[in-house]
Amino acid sequence: MEMFVPNASNGNRGEDGGNGRTGDRGHKGTSPGCYRKVLSCPDLTGHRGYTGKTGESGRRAGRSGNGGNSRRITLNTESISGLFKVTQRTGKGGPPAIHGSGGRGGPGGEGGCGVDCRVQGWGRSCKPTSECVRSKQGPTGYTGSSGKHGYQIYSTPTQGSYGIVERSVLHRVKSLKQWFVRDVELQELIHRRGELLFQRNRTDEAYEIFSFLQSVTDVKSYIHKEVLSQMTSLKQGFDFYGNSESFAPNLGWIYLRDRATDLLAAGEKYESTYNTVKNKMDNIVLAAKTMRDAVYMDIEKSKKDLGYEKNELKIEIDLYINALRQLEETMREEQKEIENLIPILIKEKARV
């Protein structure tokens, strides 16, 4: 069973929609006008800033590309036996893109300036004493509404459609050579492949290609003549350059001497570089070993010192425990003496 599986290309993913731009800042609030209230002119707070502008809506997502079509395949063959299976695969549609998000609402505008109002003039009218009183500035305006998201405006993005499959056919022909006879460019391409194999001494493969070209090229064409010459060389055991298997280049003594001198000079450079690197590595290894030995000795000394201090501490603890026991015994004896003296002292006190 032969299997031939042509695959169509998949569709590209659409471009995501851009996000909406943030809304503009709201305008600054205004300052109130002074007015008279009974006998006074009250100080006034500035008006709240204007609400920020609404953010822009998200942009529409791009359309995903459709999968490639599996075109009709025509297979020409001289002979076939058994089952020949052809599996055609269409391209998948590109995955869906994403709509853009709505832009954020613009920040609220700055609050308006407050005013200090005073009674002025004979008409007892109210007028501001200064242009702007920051301490009585109005509150900042509200943040604007966010823009609409793309999915709130546009339909849901969809995946690109799959490609279509066209029916393939299998043709049986008497000879395939007719497809190569008139195609000179294809003949040249096959010829270059044969010459490349010839240069690499893959003579059996090269001979097969040259034999095929001999049968499909015009006998008067240059490719046909070139192929015949190369096939003759292969039969006689010559390589691509016309040399036999026992060929050795004829080199003079001066060339060999100079070549050997150059090789020795290059070898000395390699040897010197190798020795330099090796010495550095040996020094690093030696330093690491010395450091390891020093650290090991310090650790061992610290362990010995720690063991000695541990023993000394244990001896001191034992001495302290023994001292406490002796003190406890002494205190018990003194307690007994005190208990014996108490009745005697009571009797002596009664006589007095």
Determine the Cα–Cα distance for residues 128 and 126; give it in Å rounded to an integer. 7
Residue 256: per-residue pLDDT: 78
pLDDT digits (tens), the chain, 352 positions = 455 666 778 888 888 888 888 889 889 888 888 887 767 788 888 888 899 898 898 888 888 888 888 777 777 676 767 777 777 778 888 888 888 898 998 999 999 888 888 877 665 678 888 778 888 888 888 998 888 888 888 888 888 888 887 777 766 666 667 777 778 888 899 999 999 999 998 989 999 999 988 888 888 888 899 999 999 999 988 888 888 877 777 777 787 788 888 888 888 888 888 888 888 888 888 888 888 888 888 888 788 878 878 888 888 888 888 888 888 888 888 888 888 777 777 777 777 5
Number of domains in the chain: 1
Which pair of tokens denotes residue 57? 């809506």
Asked, for residue 188, whether it belongs to a domain, the answer is yes
> Does the residue 85 lie in any domain?
no
Asked whether residue 166 is domain-assigned, the answer is no
**Residue 272 falls inside a structural domain:** no
Are 58 and 102 in contact, with CB atoms under 8 Å apart? yes
In-domain check, residue 185: yes
Of the candidates 251, 226, 230, 225, the one whose C-alpha atom is nearest the C-alpha of residue 241 is 230
Contact partners, residue 211, CB within 8 Å, separation at least 6:
231
In a domain, 200, yes or no: yes
Q: What pLDDT is stored for residue 175 in this prediction?
A: 67
Nearest to 61 by CA among 160, 163, 161: 160
Strand segments (E) across the chain:
2-4, 74-77, 84-86, 117-120, 125-128, 169-172
* Residue 204 domain boundaries: 178-235
SS3 assignment, position 125:
strand
Residue 201 lies in a domain: yes
Would 217 be classed as within a structural domain? yes
The confidence score (pLDDT) of residue 191 equals 92
What Å distances lie between residue 12 and 19, 187, 193, 287, CA to CA? 21, 37, 36, 60
Give the length of the chain. Answer: 352
DSSP state of 121: T
